[in-house]
Structure 1
Amino acid sequence: MSQETTNYDAASEFQDRATFSQKMQAVLHKYPWLSSTMVLVVASITFSFFNENFLTPSNFSLILQQVAIVGAVATGQTLIILTAGIDLSCGAIAIFSSMAMAKLAQGTPAVEGDGLSIWIAFPAGLLVGMLAGAINGALVTKVKLPPFIVTLGTFNIFLALTLTFTKGTVPANEMPPFLLTLGHYVNLGPFRVTTGVLFMIAMYIVLAFALRYTAWGRHVYAVGDDIDAARLAGISVNRVLMSVYVVAGLTFALAAWIVIGRVTVASPNTGGDLNLDAITAVVIGGTSLFGGRGTIFGSLIGAVIVGVFRNGLTLAGVDLYFQLMAIGILIIFAVSVDQWIRKARK
């Protein structure tokens, strides 16, 4: 028997001796969205026993509408966490962008068309989000500050700018109908959802394609997995990081459009917990806080899991404080699973 055959047989025998735990680690390492999917299925089945209305199409439609905003913000948060960063300012950027586009387009009920054209106001709001993301990216790549510290600081800055320069709210009757488009309802068989839900799903599809089938997407994963190895491989690390923060800023601004359609008002006091909710969705969805591992659709599953837990616990009559405790436990569980999965053999 040749040496090559002997080595092959030894390797095969070693693989066969892997424990169930090791095999499970390897599977979850390869498919990070699998653990969150299992949690979603188990939670849905469990909550159905507490309330017969939980598994109805109308209730699931409500859950999707409730998670549309968080799910949209989670798309950009996923990109940043994939690079081993984090963005605590995502909610502030979204609200800043929503107020920018609403205030620029604001008119008065008595005078039609006295605000800026929506074709100027809307792109301006998107540009605000991208510029905010660029500021974060520049501080991370040029000044070499940790993303946590950078975005903690810019969270307060963007929030202060919103409160300072966009005083008051903008009601629906003072906004162009275009800004309220994503609040319209559509029927999909037994489900009735807003166009904001469909727009959010479209965002996931576009980013999933970019991450999987473009060189940019492969570079994002490479930078998050090992930044030094990515640099040695010829990847322009700073350029990749900068692009990620700019694209994330754009997604936060698009989420702002969903916010306006959902609440039918532009208010600087909306979405105070968006940053924490988005990070929660990404972590529960299987994206590693250490970067380089995760999928964009995992974050969508994570957002739905949070929505399912809150909805299910509410229908079961559980107090709000215990709902918050359950979400906290879920986060700790998700991070613990991530740590365990990272020990898997590659």
Structure 2
Amino acid sequence: MPTPTAPAPSPRQHHFADRLPSIADVGPFLALVLACAFFISQSNRFLSFENLSLILQQTMVVAVIAIGQTLIVLTGGIDLSCGMVMAFGSIVMTRFAVILGLPPLLAIACGIAATTLFGLLNGVLITRIKLPPFIVTLGTLNIAFALTQIYSNAESVSNLPNAIMFFGNTFGVGHAQVTYGTVLTLLMYLFTWFVLRDTVPGRHLYALGNNAEAARLMGLSSQRILLTVYGLAGAIYGVAALLSVARTGVGDPQAGQTENLDSITAVVLGGTSLFGGRGTIVGTLLGALIVGVFRNGLTLIGVSSVYQVLITGILVILAVAADKLSHRRA
């Protein structure tokens, strides 16, 4: 007798399954909810308006850097220089304003221009000379660090004009104080979400990350797309530099030394594939919040900063392992 076979799924079942979100989509949200639930159970201060506002303030710089990192990772690349490029931009804008006496807006523009040039340098080396992104950005990380120390004389820049400090100011929302920098961060995420989801350049970026050869056959210029992405990421690091200055109140030459790894952590925890072509900017925001929640919550319950770094490292390895397994199945 022939072996009976299971009935094929109906079109309606297929349609319903297609509408369900994937694990990569809901995973970061579930991880954030579980992390919050755990720390709520461990500390009665975690859920206070003041603490939640503090988490947003502590997260905004890394979250903005992670926007640029996401755009690069979606193309299949990576940027190790982002933190130090941000630090260089912060020193440029603060010294131009305080030492050279330039108008604050012009000094800010010069700082963002400096970080954009670093991004373009990365893009040119990757697209024209065909160097691997890992090696290129590792080199520019060291260049940016050296230039930051040389130009600043390893000294912080203080007595900043109010205009540069604007995004560190707060306004009241209920019982909480929210910085204008947090609002700017959320607006940047909203705009990036729209560009990636509903515009032709966004679709081209995903196409390049999915299959560079197929994108070339479609008539897309991978060199132009990559150069644009790295230059835009550099400009975004300049905005992050402004937020860092506004939050700390100084131009700090020691800033940016962990932000590169923190931004990659946020991108990976947010479900963006390191193989390129798959991921969402909303996931990156959730990933940045996961990092912020873990560090804040562990501090509240008295866990040493060394263990905070350990736990963050474990989370990254788990997220990359899940991405690898998902990529193999695909």
Asked whether the equivalents of residues 28 and 341 of structure 1 are also in contact (C-alpha less than 8 Å), the reply is: no
CA RMSD of aligned residues (A): 2.1
Give the equivalent residue in structure 2 for 1:274: 259
Give the equivalent residue in structure 2 for 1:55: 47
TM-score of the pair, normalised by structure 2: 0.92
Mark the CA change 1:104 to 1:57 in structure 2 (over 3 Å): closer, same or farther: same
Give the equivalent residue in structure 2 for 1:6: none
Q: Secondary structure of 1:272's match? A: coil
Give 1:91's match in structure 2, choosing from 80, 83, 93: 83
TM-score of the pair, normalised by structure 1: 0.88
Give the equivalent residue in structure 1 for 2:181: 196
Instruction: Summarize deviations over 1:305-331 as a string: whole Å, max 9, x none.
Output: 011111111112222222211111111
Q: Secondary structure of 1:101's match? A: helix
Residue 124 of structure 1 deviates from its aligned partner by 1.1
Asked whether the equivalents of residues 287 and 299 of structure 1 are also in contact (C-alpha less than 8 Å), the reply is: yes
Partners in 2 of 1:310 and 1:119 — Cα distance?
A: 34
Asked whether the equivalents of residues 63 and 307 of structure 1 are also in contact (C-alpha less than 8 Å), the reply is: yes
Q: What is the percent sequence identity of the aligned residues?
A: 45
**Counterparts of residues 171-250 of structure 1 (less than 5 Å):** 171=158, 173=159, 175-250=160-235
Give the equivalent residue in structure 1 for 2:3: none
Partners in 2 of 1:116 and 1:319 — Cα distance?
A: 42
Asked whether the equivalents of residues 98 and 260 of structure 1 are also in contact (C-alpha less than 8 Å), the reply is: yes
Give 2:92's match in structure 1, choosing from 90, 100, 122: 100
Partners in 1 of 2:12 and 2:84 — Cα distance?
A: 49
Instruction: Summarize deviations over 1:31-60 as a string: whole Å, max 9, x none.
Output: x33101000001111111111111222111
Partners in 1 of 2:41 and 2:104 — Cα distance?
A: 48
Give the equivalent residue in structure 2 for 1:28: 22
**Residue 78 (str. 1) matches residue 74 (str. 2):** no
One-letter amino acid of the counterpart of residue 270, structure 2: G
**Which shifted more, 152-161 or 48-57?**
48-57
Give 1:69's match in structure 2, choosing from 61, 66, 73: 61
Residue 260 of structure 1 deviates from its aligned partner by 0.3
Q: After TM superposition, what 4+ stretches of structure 1 lie above 3 angstroms from structure 2? A: 13-17
Give 2:270's match in structure 1, choosing from 277, 285, 301: 285
Gaps of 5+ in 1: 1-8, 18-22, 108-113
Partners in 1 of 2:192 and 2:101 — Cα distance?
A: 33
One-letter amino acid of the counterpart of residue 203, structure 1: M
One-letter amino acid of the counterpart of residue 84, structure 2: A
**Residue 311 (str. 1) matches residue 299 (str. 2):** no
Give 1:154's match in structure 2, choosing from 140, 147, 172: 140
Residue 282 of structure 1 deviates from its aligned partner by 0.6
Give the equivalent residue in structure 2 for 1:127: 113
Q: Secondary structure of 2:163's match? A: helix
Partners in 2 of 1:257 and 1:11 — Cα distance?
A: 57
